[in-house]
Amino acid sequence: MKTALRFIALVMLAAILAACARETVEEPEAPEPPPTQEPVDEPETDRLNPRDYTDPRNLDNSDSLLSQRVIYFEFDRSNVRSQFRPIIEAHAEYLRSNPSARVMLEGHADERGSREYNLGLGERRGNSVQDLLSANNVPSRQVEVVSYGEERPVCRESNEDCWQRNRRVEIVYTAR
């Protein structure tokens, strides 16, 4: 009986651990795209609307897409995947309505292959994000691209979990 209980406990523990482990290896969560139909606006004036992408306060509001500033890429690719477009569009709206705001798009690559080629790859990713901002009518003077290649990893282990976190463009506001 005791062993059976212990077994059940172990199985449950294993299940919990497995769930945790799975969560950490998952692709970086794609943000929820904004619903197509806007919910009815409540007549409030001072409450922060996370979907108001013109409001600087949303840059620090974890409920708002504007607080998300990292775009992730597939191996050796530089095209922006569809799940990241809403983030870029939110920032485009912010930049359009705040003409003095400036962003630096920092392109990064994972550690595989040559460092100089990876500088090129990081820049190409930065350019992809810049192209999307331009397509959303953001003036080019508000945007700059810099590539760090594989020189500035956020994760330092040599496995796919880390690599996918390192293949990224960080949207850094140099002026809000």
Partner 1 sequence: MYSSARSLLSSFTTASLLVFALLFAAPAAAELRIEIVDGVEGAMPIAVAPFEWNSDMPEPEDGVADIVSADLHRSGLFDPMDESEMVDRPSEPTEVRFGTWRLLKVDHLVIGSVRETNDGMGYEIEYHLLDVHTGRILLSQALTVGLGDLRFGAHRVADAVYEALLGVPGAFATRIAYVAVRGTGADNETFELVVADADGHNPQTVVRNSQPILSPTWSPDARKLAYVSFATGRSQVIVQDLYTGQNRVVSADKGINGAPAFSPDGDKLAVSLSRTGSPEIWVIDLETGRSEQLTHHWSINTEPAWSPDGETIYFTSDRAGRPQIYAMDAGGGDPERVTWEGRYNAHASFGLEERYLAVIYSEGDEDYRIAIHDRETDRLRVLSDGRLDESPSFAPNGSMVLYATRRDGKSELAAVSADGRVRQRLVLSEGDDVREPAWSPMIR
Q: Does 117 bind partner 1 (CB under 8 A)?
A: yes
Single out the segment in contact with partner 1 by CB under 8 A; choices: 62-70, 80-88, 93-101, 139-147: 139-147
Give the closest residue to 174 by CA, choosing from 140, 133, 144, 135. 144
The residue behind tokens 């976190």 is 165
- Min dist. Cβ of residue 99 to partner 1 (A): 22
Selected binder of partner 1 within 27, 76, 131, 161 (CB under 8 A)? 76
In the chain, the DSSP E strands lie at 70-72, 102-108, 143-149, 168-175
Strand partners, 175: 102
Query: Strand, helix or coil at 145?
Result: strand
Q: What is the per-residue DSSP string for 76-118?
A: T--PPPGGGHHHHHHHHHHHHH-TT-EEEEEEE--SSS-HHHH
Selected binder of partner 1 within 99, 146, 161, 176 (CB under 8 A)? 146
Single out the segment in contact with partner 1 by CB under 8 A; choices: 21-29, 50-58, 82-90, 153-161: 153-161
Strand partners, 144: 104
> Contact at 8 Å (CB) between 163 and 43?
no
Single out the segment in contact with partner 1 by CB under 8 A; choices: 6-14, 21-29, 53-61, 120-128: 120-128
Selected binder of partner 1 within 28, 56, 86, 120 (CB under 8 A)? 120
Single out the segment in contact with partner 1 by CB under 8 A; choices: 16-24, 31-39, 64-72, 152-160: 152-160
Site string for partner 1, 85-114 (x = CB under 8 A): --------------------------xxxx
Question: Could you list the residues that contact partner 1 (CB under 8 A)?
Answer: 75-76, 111-117, 119-121, 123-124, 127, 145-149, 151-152, 156-158
